Amino acid sequence: MTWYLLGAGNIGTLVASYLARAGQPVRRVGRGPAPLQRNLLWPDGRHQALTLAGDDGGLIQRLVITTKAQDTADALRPLLPRLANGALLLRLQNGLGSLDALPLPEGLQQVEGLTTSGAWRDGAQVQVVAENDTLLGLAQGDPEPPADIAALLPHWPGARWCTDIRRQQWLKLSVNAVINPITALNDCPNGALCDDPARQQQARALADEADALFHRLDPDWPGDTYGRALAVARATAANMSSMRADVRAGQRTEIAYINGWLLRQADQLGMSLPAHRLMVAALPA
Ligand SMILES: NC(=O)c1ccc[n+]([C@@H]2O[C@H](COP(=O)([O-])OP(=O)(O)OC[C@H]3O[C@@H](n4cnc5c(N)ncnc54)[C@H](OP(=O)(O)O)[C@@H]3O)[C@@H](O)[C@H]2O)c1
């Protein structure tokens, strides 16, 4: 059974290479019928030439979503009539809420993923920077993955099934909501968050507001977003956040699905998050 790939970019091409290893046919969707050639290069010199078949307009039973969050609703809307009953969606993106505005049919299996792997593209060449942890899970916390995901996991380095994916997404989102906008606005590497009093103050305000919200959403929220954000900033000190990279490239950012997602939750609870609101207003969405 074919997997369709919406978003044959950096992460999408990496996922397509795992699907190919697993012997699962994959074709991209949403960019016409022409096939796409990609060459993946790993840090140890391994490489893989990959031909992604183009869209055939067929019924979609399995779909990987690796568009940027802000492109997702427009990309997926025209595909909704093609989704089979009970289709499996695997969304692997930073940020939350990219499918919220869509009238998704009932009965879909929505697997959520988050990854700390990294890849970037130069034309047809996809450089894999690192294959780190990837967590996949269903929001309702099912202990076992759907069969199609179970068949894929052994071929996906660092991937594992996760029964508390929502908690893991919230933990990652809270850290991203601190590091990404500050590094993007100040055009600085992640580590610059740790050694500048003004940036630390901004980070503290964002982290405290995120904790206040998550405590309302989940009484067991562990808090200390500030400590976790600083630890990640230190551990990735030389790295460029994806939001900073997007701003530098003159592109829209995923701010509406990171800090913007927090604002939408806060609005529903009658809370105000002024530090996050400032960031959402300041960055291109
Ligand atoms: N890259 C990383 O290292 C990394 C790491 C962790 C998480 N992530 C997350 O993974 C997600 C994807 O990031 P990325 O870096 O892979 O982005 P990317 O390289 O920009 O890939 C996104 C792809 O979506 C495609 N796309 C956009 N609109 C489309 C449409 N209407 N129909 C079909 N395809 C469409 C784009 O196609 P065109 O090229 O044709 O425009 C592009 O190839 C983001 O949420 C990001 O935060 C990325």
Provide the pLDDT for residue 231: 98
| pLDDT band (50, 70, 90) for residue 224 | very high
Q: Using the mean position of ligand 1's atoms as its centre, give its distance from the Cα of residue 64 in Å.
A: 11
Same domain, 176 and 151: no
Position 120, amino acid: W
Which residue among 28, 38, 67, 259 is best mutated to probe the pocket of ligand 1, counting the most ligand atoms within 8 A of its Cβ?
A: 67
| pLDDT one-digit tens code per residue, 58-100 | 999 999 999 999 999 999 999 999 999 999 999 999 999 999 9
Same domain, 238 and 102: no
Q: Check whether 112 has a pLDDT greater than 90.
A: yes
Q: Using the mean position of ligand 1's atoms as its centre, give its distance from the Cα of residue 280 in Å.
A: 21
Model pTM above 0.75: yes
Going by CA atoms, what residue is nearest to atom 26 of ligand 1? 7
| pLDDT one-digit tens code per residue, 233-273 | 999 999 999 999 999 999 999 999 999 999 999 999 999 99
Provide the pLDDT for residue 39: 97
Domain residues for 217?
167-282
Final residue belonging to a domain, choices 143, 163, 183? 163
Provide the pLDDT for residue 274: 98
Residue 93 Cβ < 6 Å to ligand 1: yes
Same domain, 241 and 268: yes
At CB < 8 A and 24+ separation, what contacts does 57-60 make? 57/33, 57/82, 58/2, 58/82, 59/84, 60/4, 60/29, 60/84, 60/87
Final residue belonging to a domain, choices 118, 148, 163? 163
Tokens of residue 17, six digits: 């290479």
Average model confidence (pLDDT) across the chain: 97
| pLDDT one-digit tens code per residue, 114-134 | 999 999 999 999 999 999 999
CATH number reported for the structural domain that contains residue 257 in this entry = 1.10.1040.10
Residue 68 a catalytic site member: no
Among residues 38, 172, 199, 244, the one annotated as catalytic is 172
Residues whose CB falls within 8 Å of the CB of residue 162, separated by 6 or more in sequence, listed in order? 135, 136, 137, 168
**Which atom of ligand 1 lies at the shortest distance from residue 120's CA?**
1
Strand duo 47-52 + 36-41: pairing: antiparallel
Question: How many distinct structural domains can be found in the chain?
Answer: 2
Provide the pLDDT for residue 244: 98
Residue 113 Cβ < 6 Å to ligand 1: no
Final residue belonging to a domain, choices 122, 142, 163? 163
Q: Using the mean position of ligand 1's atoms as its centre, give its distance from the Cα of residue 182 in Å.
A: 22
CATH number reported for the structural domain that contains residue 92 in this entry = 3.40.50.720
In the chain, pLDDT over 70 holds for what percent of residues?
Answer: 100
| pLDDT band (50, 70, 90) for residue 1 | confident
Residue 266 Cβ < 6 Å to ligand 1: no
